[in-house]
Structure 1
Amino acid sequence: MATTKPAIAWLGAGLMGNPMAGRLLDEGYPVRVWNRTRAKAEALSSQGATVADSPADAVTGSDIVFTMLSDAQAVETALADVALSGKTLVQMSTIGPGENRRLAGQVNDAGGVYLEAPVLGSIPEARSGKLIIMAGGPEAAFAEVRPMLTCLGPEPRLIGSLGQASALKLALNQLIASLTVAFSTSLGFVEENGVDVDSFMEILRQSALYAPTFDKKLAKMQEHDYRNPNFPTEHLIKDIDLFKREARGLDTTMLDVLLQLYRRAQAGHGREDYSCVYDAVTGRC
């Protein structure tokens, strides 16, 4: 006997939301998609998505609601007129632990259930279903949506209570920001002194200092071409700022320098890939 899959409302069809919703459609889930820019949601109609006129329209008749939006304000705005009583909300946007707890309070007061589930990975991993998914919240809610999360990443993990998964996500994104600036500084120094970059990379790859992200961003940095971003600079700036605001007992002086460099890069490159910070480090912008 066939099992009917739960109906899904998907709010946010941007760079990450589009391929993620597409994965669920490919697995046979009925999905109603809303996006502020309707054309982005309509791009999923060929895969079987129903395009909704509003968040409330998307949520009507759904069992599970997913959000993949730019920040906490966008999530709160999208949910403002949505009836969530009896529904499970899976909040996948990268927002702060405190913001998740505040939104959870609102959803719980409305009679819904809230689970945070931020992801690590970018567009290629979203398309291939290989995202790293970290969840925080009730075990029962995680068990309910785990089959859907498994479509997006092979091993979704319940980290702990609400706020802990988003804290872990921000900790990882802080590493993205720090490692990229550190690599940019070393690469710039090597080039400034006429050292062969291939030799530098060969030695780096053999050492304990190596991180795969260095090779992923090397070509963009050498070509100074940061178009078609997997992760726009403005989003990483938002995450660094979130980390700084949420880290109460740490010395975050280093983050001030990171924010200065990434903001300078953004001023020169707009919504391009965050690896454009290389141009800020090397004085090109």
Structure 2
Amino acid sequence: MTGGGVAGRPHGAGGPAQMRVLVAGYGVLTQGILPHLAARPGFSVGLTSRHQVEPPLPGVESVDAESVQDFRPDVILGCFASDRRSRAFWTDSRTRRAIAERGAGCIEMSTLSLDRAQHWHAEITAAGGVGTESPVTGSRSGASAGTLSAFVYQGVPDPRADQVLRTFTRRRYDFSAPGHPTRFKLVYNAWGASLLYSMAAFVPVLRESLGEDFTVAEQVVRSDGWMAPVCASKLDRMLSGRYDDPDFAVQHMVKDLDQAAEVLGPSHELLALVREAFDRAAALHGPGADYTAVTGGQVR
């Protein structure tokens, strides 16, 4: 991890130094991240969300849209399901006033389109803030464990944002240009989706052709070879056919694959096949199903 600590700023006359962190958006990732932030000494944590109106846990203050500036955040961390929701929050006049008041460090963790990510930096600079583009990987389990990996671009070093990121990430990878973390994340997600797609083609064949020896095959694919990390984490879901309680929803992967076409090109053949498979999974299991649903019902 890079970046130093932060001195913090007093909130109220004579009060102790606090890092005031506002989390915008309440979903799978922020549900896991919030307990780590709330437990960090010296952090005062607020949550603003369209859906979550009550504090989700002790130590987190609910902040409605009208009160964002009153919370006086030092750092604002956004995590949204779409470009539209990201844009609506960061360009809202109330958010812009909150950014300007304290020159807030702004962290955008959403997986955005490339165009949106590049415009975001300009929006934050214009509002008087310091931008940290930081999509993450690690899904729900990584957020809950505080072991997410962050793909980061900072035009200006921001120790405040660095301190917040350290709270729930294990690894950080720094990129040298705006939009590059997003560009990488879109390809990374498409690549991972392609590996899941390949499981649907090969695992059923092994299961049918090996009979009782499929247990041996399971041991191999979970622990040996390049596919082991994927199989170790996703094979159980595939074999059980249980795609409820999602770590990452099919509908979000469909969105990411559409955005990946900005980087890979609209005529990328594998991307088109994988995109169609996730469409079928959404139709068969529902858009809110776990994204491993792509491994079910694809092989005839």
SS of aligned partner of 1:173 = helix
Change (3 A) 1:241 1:280: farther
1:30 counterpart SS class: strand
Question: 1:153 matched to which residue of 2?
Answer: 169
Aligned-pair Cα RMSD in Å: 2.0
1:70 aligns with 2:81: yes
Q: How far, CA to CA, are the matches of 1:178 and 1:205 in structure 2?
A: 18
Contact 2:74 2:160 in 1 (8 A): no
> Counterpart of 2:27?
14
Identity level (%): 21
Question: In the alignment, which residue of structure 2 is the partner of 1:266?
Answer: 282
8 Å Cα contact 1:232-1:272 kept in structure 2: yes
Deviation at 1:194, TM superposition (A): 4.5
1:58 is the counterpart of 2:68:
yes
Structure 2 contact 223–232 (Cα < 8 Å) conserved: no
**Structure 1 pair 94–100 and aligned structure 2 pair: CA distance change class (3 A):** same
Stretches of structure 1 lacking an aligned partner (at least 5 in a row): none
Q: Which amino acid aligns with 1:120?
A: T
* Cross-structure match for 2:55: 42
Whether contact under 8 Å (1:262, 1:280) holds in the other structure is no
Maintained 8 Å contact 2:150/2:171? yes
Equivalent in 95, 120, 123 of residue 106 of structure 1 = 123
Q: By how many angstroms is 1:264 displaced?
A: 0.7
C-alpha displacement at 1:193, in angstroms?
A: 2.8
Q: Does the residue aligned with 1:281 lie in a helix, a strand or coil?
A: coil
2:203 equivalent to 1:187: yes
Partner of 2:138: 121
Are the counterparts in 2 of residues 23 and 152 from structure 1 also a CA contact under 8 Å?
Answer: yes
Secondary structure of 1:38 counterpart: coil
Alignment TM-score, normalising by the size of structure 2 = 0.85
What are the superposed Cα offsets for residues 101-132 of structure 1, whole Å, 9 maximum, x if unpaired? 11221222222222101111011211111111
Partner SS, residue 69 of structure 1: coil
Distance (whole Å) between structure 2 residues aligned to residue 59 and residue 173 of structure 1: 35
- Partner residue of 1:198 out of 206, 215, 218: 215
Aligned partner of 2:226 in structure 1 is 209
Report how far residue 221 of structure 1 moved. Answer: 1.3
Query: Structure 2 CA distance, aligned partners of 1:274 and 1:239?
Result: 12
Aligned to 2:45: 31
Length-normalised TM-score, structure 1: 0.89
Contact 1:70-1:235 at 8 Å conserved across structures: yes
Q: How many residues align?
A: 276
Is the CA contact 1:96–1:166 (under 8 Å) kept in the aligned structure 2? yes
2:19 aligned counterpart, secondary structure: coil
Matches within 5 A, 1:130-279: 130-141=147-158, 143-195=159-211, 196-205=213-222, 207-248=224-265, 252-270=268-286, 271-279=288-296
Does 2:106 align with 1:89? yes
In 2, distance between residues paired with 1:166 and 1:118? 7
How many angstroms does 1:233 deviate by? Answer: 0.8
Q: What is the Cα deviation at residue 205 of structure 1? A: 4.4
Is the contact made by 1:10 and 1:67 (CA closer than 8 Å) also made in structure 2? yes
**Structure 1 residue aligned with 2:3:** none
Deviations along 1:106-162, one digit per CA (max 9) or x if unpaired, are 222222222101111011211111111111122413x33111111111232322221
